Amino acid sequence: MSETEAFGEGRREILRQASVALGRPVTLFEVSARAQLEPKEWSDAGSVAGPNVDLDSTLRRWNVPIQQGGRWVGSRASRDVPWVIAPVRPRPPAPPPDGRERRSRERLTLELTGLCLGLLDRREAAAQAPKPQVDPLRELAALPSVMAHEASNPLTAARAGLQLAMEAIGRWTDVAADRRLELLDELGQVVEDIDRAVTFLRAIQDRARGALARSERFDVVRVVRSCITLESRVLRDRRIPLELDAAVDTVYLQGDPNALYDMLVNLIRNAADASAERPAPVRIRVERAGQAFQLTVQDQGRGILAQDLDRIFEPGFTTKEFGQGSGMGLVVVHSVVRNMFGGSVAVDSTVGVGTTVTVTLPIPRQRGNEEERAPR
């Protein structure tokens, strides 16, 4: 039996039980486009009431609003008596104003029947509603953030426990001072390891949060810190450290944080590739220059030839060896900076000395307390 058939059988059973309670047929009606009560279901084959049910004598005389599609259950003892009728609805009616029930036994039975039918209709509508489509890419993008969140919670609790233990050890009087200092130093190193792990997990959460394109207000310094945290792990085997010089703690921009993250990844990896022959630190500096945010990525790599500087933003152009570069990294950087943030990119390079890329992004008007913190 299909779901539709099962719900239809359920409606007939509700009407049949009402018919047994009343001792006479019960019919489910629906208001048609012609403002007529047309039978839809009934308690038994012999209980069909024709479409000549008089609305004036059943509903309009009670000033009941007539709406197309409205559903009612009704019954009457014989052709000589009026119909007793009640609406189909998923919620019970309000109690009588004075607390005294004036409805007849027949009306109360039909009210309960209409309530049962209304609840069944709601279940049927829920069962037939289209199931929400699961976006596997969205779920996959959220998975790292969920894992990082679940891992960081116990680490935070462990750190708090260690701090309490360190405070207790500091108060011990029956342990030699040098031994207490040794224990505190060892526990302090564990706390530092936990802090590094939590910072790394927070960077993963920040990265996953911006995995889907959006435009929002975000802290660009936090995005830069998160990117450096993750890229430091990527470049560890190449022995190219990343050094951050942050002259400002917080600056808010409007745009896609993920796009800015990808832009910085391209700059960092280009700098790392240029430094492959003689590993040296890649320095990233963030600062505020008036009403602009400046991000500088500086390497001590092989540098770029003067004749190539004018072409580095051309799609497909690369100074790397064949098969090692797509020529699209700086194209992405230029597009994000210009098209999304309305900024500019400047490149200064000397062969054998290194390259400095400076990204300048205009800062939108900040909120009051942020303007107070901003350097003048």
Give the model confidence (pLDDT) of 290-332 as tens digits.
899 999 999 998 888 888 887 887 776 666 554 455 556 688 8
Give the model confidence (pLDDT) of 210-249 as tens digits.
444 457 888 999 999 988 988 888 788 788 899 999 999 9
CA distances from 44 to 48, 158, 260 (A): 8, 69, 70
Exposed, middle or buried by CB within 10 Å (0-12, 13-18, 19+), for 84?
Answer: buried
Question: What residues pair up with 71 in beta bridges, in sequence order?
Answer: 30
- Kindly state the tokens that stand for 151: 């891992």
State percent of the chain over pLDDT 90: 14
Q: pTM for this structure?
A: 0.47
Max intra-chain CA distance, the chain: 109
- Kindly state the tokens that stand for 306: 């003067």
Q: Tell me the pLDDT band of 376, cut-offs 50, 70 and 90.
A: very low
Q: How many residues can be counted in the chain?
A: 376
Reduce the DSSP state of residue 63 to 3 states and report it.
coil
Nearest to 170 by CA among 162, 161, 181, 159: 181
The chain-wide mean pLDDT, for the chain, equals 78
Phi-psi region of 242 (alpha: psi -120 to 50; beta: other; left: phi over 0): beta
Contact 233, 198 (CB under 8 A): no
* CB neighbour list of residue 284: distance below 8 Å, 6 or more residues apart: 224, 228, 242, 243, 244, 245, 264, 268, 295, 296, 297, 298
Give the model confidence (pLDDT) of 243-285 as tens digits.
999 999 999 998 888 888 888 988 998 899 888 887 789 999 9
- Kindly state the tokens that stand for 174: 């029956």
* CB neighbour list of residue 106: distance below 8 Å, 6 or more residues apart: 22, 75, 84
Q: Is the pLDDT of residue 136 over 60?
A: no
Give the model confidence (pLDDT) of 38-72 as tens digits.
888 878 765 544 545 666 667 766 666 677 788 88
pLDDT of residue 28: 86
Q: Side chain identity at 359, as an amino acid letter? A: V
Query: Which own/partner pairs from 120-125 qualify as long-range (CB within 8 Å, at least 24 positions apart)?
Result: 120/7, 120/10, 120/11, 120/14, 121/71, 121/88, 121/90, 122/90, 123/7, 124/3, 124/7
Q: Is the pLDDT of residue 135 over 60?
A: no
pLDDT of residue 366: 65
Contact 95, 108 (CB under 8 A): no
